[in-house]
Copies of this chain bind each other. A is one copy, B any other.
Amino acid sequence: MTTGILRQIDLDLPRLSRSETRIAEWIRENPRQTVDASIGEVAANAGVSEPTVIRFCRRLGLAGFRDLKTRLVAALQSPENFLHRDVDDADGPSEAAAKVLDGSIRTLVDLREQTPTMPFRAAVETMTTARELVFVGLGASGHVARDASHKFFRLGIPCSTAVDAQTILQRAAIASARDVFVVVSHTGTWPEIVTAMAIAAERHARIVALTDPRSPLATTADLVFACHPVEDTNVFTPMSSRLAQLALLDALQVALALGIGEPAKQNLRASKEALSEMRASACGSN
């Protein structure tokens, strides 16, 4: 199981040209050596020229060779630091719990690394002008969608949720161009959601998706927050993608609040005060 840039190299391997593939393979086999090497050394070892190495970096979406080295250091750090040991039958309750939390933390750290490449600015711009935000999700993702709706409405924006196939389809059918659909989907392959979003897209609604970037849903969406599904080898591994989606929506909500500015701030403050007043009187009556 690899993470970070090494995983990305594997994923992008098919798109690379012949020379670039040679570079990818050499780096893949000698990542530690690469960290200490100069462009010249990497180029020589892969049997290509120096600019080709840079082009390779750019094709991966990186700024340059320096950026590659930085990310390699990061990627090589994780396994050591955090030997993601799977839970097994020999674990007691506490050890198992600790391992699960380690995994959850790992998920969020990986996510954090990807934030710079995510379209937060665009999403905020789209959402500030929205007539309504519609949060969509099926099954476990439905809970995330509900939670998100509950979070975003406090900014003073009209929000609704659609967490079953019928509602999703119907809502898509009456979508306006100023509606924004925020779709949470682990794999992005459920046909109900994909077809519903295609309909919404035809009606020029905006679609923001938290899903696998290679999925059909991602193709339909205007903005994609990439959540690569991790292959769960272990039965006990929980769906930590839920946690990532939740955290991501937390982040988006805050970004949106900043984008809206003062009115959102006031609404947030008001809703918090409402809760704490309620609580104060509740305590008194105890």
Contact = CB atoms under 8 A, between A and B. Distances in A.
A74 B79 CA distance: 12
A191 interface: yes
A105 B244 CA distance: 11
A94 interface: yes
Interface size class of A (residues with CB under 8 A): 35 or more
A33 B133 CA distance: 35
B70 A124 contact: no
A216 interface: yes
Contact of A254 (B73, B100, B146, B261): B100
Contact of A116 (B77, B82, B94, B96): B94
A93 B258 contact: yes
Given A94-B121, A104-B108, A268 B235 contact: yes
B258 A91 contact: yes
Given A97-B254, A109-B77, A279 B189 contact: yes
Q: Give the residue among A108, A150, A232, A235 with the most B Cβ atoms within 10 A.
A: A108
Interface of A: 35, 69-70, 73-74, 76-79, 81-82, 87, 89, 91-94, 96-98, 100-102, 104-105, 108-109, 111-112, 115-116, 118, 120-121, 123-124, 139-140, 143-144, 146-147, 150-151, 187, 189-191, 194, 216, 232, 235-236, 238, 240, 242-243, 246-248, 250-255, 257-259, 261, 265, 268-269, 272, 279, 282-283, 285-286
